[in-house]
Amino acid sequence: SWTMLNIVEDAVDAVREQVGPHGRAICGLSGGVDSAVAAAIVQRAIGDRLTCVFVDHGLLRKGEAEQVERDFVAVTGVRLRVVDAAERFLKALTGVSDPEEKRKIIGREFIRVFEDEQRAIMADGPVDFLVQGTLYPDVVESGGGTGAANIKSHHNVGGLPDDLKFALVEPLRTLFKDEVRRAGEELGLPPAMVWRQPFPGPGLGIRIVGEVTHDRLEILREADAIAREELSRAGLDRDIWQCPVVLLADVRSVGVQGDGRTYGHPVVLRPVSSEDAMTADWSRVPYDVLARVSTRITNEVREINRVVLDVTSKPPGTIEWE
Ligand code: XMP
């Protein structure tokens, strides 16, 4: 729309002014809409003086890394450095089952990898600006000030290092989420990115109850992709706030397939409706949709022989299981 076009153009102008004719900036991409829109705006303003960094921690869902590396880059022309750090994160998570411990490790590794990239980028010349996808509600929540101290500690993957000597560029600072999505459409970003439901920074790492392993990630990724596909096909994307699919990796359940007994794992579907994730209700997904999800997951993912539905509101249950 006309106003959305203006909002994007104003944001681009403001960034150009702030960064100046020679300034360089770095932006971390998470796969989510906020960092993507922020990066696309800054790219429009300063072109290749922006370098984006995508740390692939191997905990994203099926297709999401490709969406960033291929589709987003194709549309925006962003200069991107991809770090395939999946092995490193898996190694760091070996033997860890405690959810808070997982979060700490993922956050810590993320910062380390990001800092390495930063150093490599700065070898080509100084960088003075760090791009953040901070939204208006975040600004209000953190007291409205500026500076690294205000990067929210629950930032996607555990917070960025606070000893960074960068000025922050926050092109989404005056926008609400729905405006960010419309800006994303205006910028031509991939719809799957623009309409992506909330997804936690630690990713699938906190949707495997138990230790995170390569095989378990593969299993969960397949089950999650099927659930997302069927919920979308049923037209439920706008009704459902998010639908974690959780692998109960330390639980085994007996099943029967053909003539044989199976001893596999259950997955939990956790579709919720919510306004802001502070409270939530379990979504009344039609039975026939649930049936299709269940049939497909148990048919197509060999290791899963049971699909269960979480019917707990928040409170008392959180949205995620970990
Ligand atoms: P809970 O599970 O607390 O989740 O009801 C509320 C919202 O926050 C997301 N979530 C996280 N996001 N890092 C994130 O960036 C995290 O560690 C994390 N834990 C939960 C969750 O997906 C929901 O949208």
CB of residue 156 inside a 6 A radius of ligand 1 = yes
Q: Cβ(320) to ligand 1 under 6 A?
A: yes
Per-residue pLDDT, 142: 72
The model's pLDDT over 199-253, given as tens digits with 9 standing for 90+, comes to 999 999 999 999 999 999 999 999 999 999 999 999 999 999 999 999 999 999 9
3-class secondary structure, 266: strand
- What pLDDT does 311 receive? 98
| Nearest CA-CA partner of 244 in 278, 200, 296, 289 | 200
Lowest mean pLDDT among 83-92, 104-113, 119-128, 149-158: 149-158
Q: Which residue has a Cα nearest atom 4 of ligand 1?
A: 319
| Distance from C-alpha of 285 to C-alpha of 270, rounded to nearest angstrom | 10
pLDDT of residue 164: 60
The pLDDT of residue 7: 93
Tens digit of pLDDT for each residue in 26-65?
A: 999 999 999 999 999 999 999 999 999 999 999 999 999 9
Ligand 1 nearest atom to the CA of residue 242, by list position: 24
Q: What is the pLDDT of residue 153?
A: 39
Distances (CA, A) of 294 to 230, 250, 268, 269, 300: 10, 20, 10, 9, 10
* Cα–ligand 1 centroid distance for 123 (angstroms): 35
Residue 201 sits at the vertex; the CA angle it makes with 40 and 109, to the nearest 5 degrees, is 100
**Neighbouring C-alpha atoms within 13 Å toward the C-beta of 186:** 22
Domains recognised in the chain with CATH numbers: 2-194 (3.40.50.620), 207-309 (3.30.300.10)
Substitution site in 109, 135, 320 for ligand 1 pocket (most atoms within 8 Å of beta carbon): 320
- Give, in order, the Cα–Cα distances in Å from 146 to each of 136, 165, 208: 12, 13, 36
Grade residue 152 by pLDDT with cuts at 50, 70 and 90.
very low
Report percent pLDDT > 90 for the chain: 88
Query: What is the tens place of the pLDDT at every residue in 165-174?
Result: 899 999 999 9
Whether the CB of 310 sits within 6 Å of ligand 1:
no
Query: What pLDDT sits at residue 1?
Result: 61
The answer on whether 158 is annotated among ligand-binding residues is no
Residue 143 has a pLDDT of 67
What pLDDT does residue 144 have? 55
CB 253 within 8 A of CB 266: yes
- Preceding omega of 200 cis (within 30 degrees of 0): no
289, 299, 308: which is closest to 236 by C-alpha? 289
**Helices and strands counted in the chain (H then E):** 11, 11
pLDDT of res. 120: 96
Query: Which carries the bigger pLDDT value, residue 159 or residue 78?
Result: 78
32 in a labelled binding site: yes
Query: What is the whole-number distance in angstroms between the Cα of residue 196 and the centre of ligand 1?
Result: 14
**Residue 31, annotated as binding a ligand:** yes
φ and ψ at 233, to 5 degrees? Answer: -60, -35
Using the mean position of ligand 1's atoms as its centre, give its distance from the Cα of residue 311 in Å. Answer: 18
ipTM of the complex: 0.99
Q: Which atom of ligand 1 is nearest to the CA of 321?
A: 2
| Structure-token match 């729309």, residue found | 1
Nearest atom (ligand 1) to Cα of 103: 17
Q: What's the whole-number mean pLDDT along residues 68-87?
A: 98
The confidence score (pLDDT) of residue 95 equals 98
Give the DSSP H or E segment for 272: strand 272-273
107 lines ligand 1 (CB under 6 A): no
Neighbours of 79 (CB within 10 A): 14
Which residue, 244, 297, 226, 292, is CA-closest to 266?
Answer: 297
CB environment 282-304: b (16+ within 10 A), e (fewer): bbebeeebbebbbebbbeebebb
Q: Is the CB of 202 under 6 A from ligand 1?
A: yes
* Spatial CB neighbours of 197, under 8 Å, sequence gap ≥ 6: 237, 240, 241, 242, 243
Count of alpha carbons within 13 Å of 187, Cβ hemisphere only? 35
Q: For all residues of the chain together, what is the average pLDDT?
A: 93
- Could you please report the per-residue DSSP string of 160-215? --TT---EEE-TTTT--HHHHHHHHHHTT--HHHHTPPP--TTGGGGSBSS---HH
Q: Is the pLDDT of residue 158 over 80?
A: no
